[in-house]
Amino acid sequence: MSDAVHLYFEKINKDFTILVQVNPKTFSGREIIIFPDGKTTTKKIHFDTEIFDDLKEDEFKESSALKFQLYLNKLV
């Protein structure tokens, strides 16, 4: 079990919202895509070491763990 604190990011556009969870020690995490009709898709991802530069370049903003967990657990 990893003792790393995950980092969370989001990007909102007119077609969908993307929420990203990144473990900064292992570069593993998840991505949730939220569509306007409320449907979501979730997938596990293994990121490369450039993920934080990529997220910044793609204009992702920091987000909250609570928001990510609510969507992950389908409570929204």
Successive 10-residue mean pLDDT values, the chain, 76 residues? 82 96 96 95 96 97 97 93
DSSP string, 41-63: EEEEEE--TTHHHHHHHTT-EE-
Report residue 62 as tokens: 């920091």
- By residue range, what is the domain housing residue 12? 7-72
Is residue 1 in a domain? no
Is residue 32 in a domain? yes
Rounded CA separation 22/25 (Å): 9
> Could you give the number of structural domains in the chain?
1
Cα distances from 36 to residues 14, 44, 76, in angstroms, run 8, 22, 13
Give me the CATH number covering residue 12: 2.20.25
What pTM value is reported for the model? 0.91
Cβ atoms of 8 and 20 within 8 Å: the answer is yes
| DSSP designation for 74 | T
Q: What pLDDT is attached to residue 68?
A: 97
